[in-house]
């Protein structure tokens, strides 16, 4: 119920112009494009809102020892606010890691390590597109930390392995 179970449902997704601009900038800077995909993403979100309950399925007793029971609901696919909780969880984690959030696209994050290597991240719900400094281990270090918090599938060292991000075909040469 709106206002009881949730108040806000908006969750941003990366703008396609941002993705195209990042790909062009990565080509100009001779960066490597890679990707990853979170596994069962909504279930990995921190739920900080009000506790939400659902009715017991038919066939189960609602009243046990004089107490009415129902099922506690967490972040589920299809819940109006699940995407927002996922975005807020990942955003907080990325900022804690040291990323800077873009002022013009809330799903673009930029990180520079102490050696000047760069890692750019476009986030579309549970899909990520990265551009990182060629010859640097910045992405490997990031993915190690990311996988310690989120379960994800690493799409490999080069975007050519999957060739797609958000239904956009991406091809990258060897530099």
* Sign for the pseudo-dihedral over CA of 131, 87, 79, 48: positive
Taking alpha carbons only, the member of 116, 141, 152 closest to residue 31 is 116
pLDDT of 50: 64
pLDDT in tens, 19-72: 889 988 998 999 998 888 888 877 778 877 666 666 667 777 667 677 666 666
Contact 142, 34 (CB under 8 A): no
Q: What local confidence, expressed as pLDDT, does residue 160 receive?
A: 47
Mean pLDDT of the chain: 81
Q: What is the mean pLDDT of residues 86-93?
A: 94
Residues 134-166: pLDDT tens digits?
A: 989 999 999 999 999 999 988 765 554 456 666
Better-scored residue on pLDDT, 84 or 115: 115
Stated pTM of the model? 0.78
Instruction: Determine contact, residues 122/107, Cβ cutoff 8 Å.
Output: yes
CB 126, CB 89: distance < 8 Å: no
């Amino acid at each position: 119920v709106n206002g009881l179970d949730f108040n806000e449902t908006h969750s941003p997704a990366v703008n396609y112009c941002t993705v195209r601009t990042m790909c062009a900038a990565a080509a100009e800077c001779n960066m490597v494009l890679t990707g990853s995909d979170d596994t069962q993403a909504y279930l990995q979100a921190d739920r900080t809102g009000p506790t939400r309950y659902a009715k017991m399925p038919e066939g189960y007793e609602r009243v046990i020892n004089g107490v009415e029971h129902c099922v506690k609901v967490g972040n589920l696919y299809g819940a109006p606010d699940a995407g927002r909780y996922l975005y807020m969880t990942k955003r907080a984690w990325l900022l804690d890691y040291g990323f800077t959030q873009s002022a013009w696209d809330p799903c673009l994050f930029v990180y520079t390590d102490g050696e000047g290597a760069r890692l750019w991240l476009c986030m579309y719900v549970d899909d990520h597109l990265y551009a990182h400094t060629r010859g640097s281990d910045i992405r490997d270090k990031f993915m190690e930390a990311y996988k310690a918090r989120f379960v994800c599938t690493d799409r490999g060292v080069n975007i050519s392995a999957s060739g797609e991000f958000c239904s956009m075909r991406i091809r990258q040469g060897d530099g």
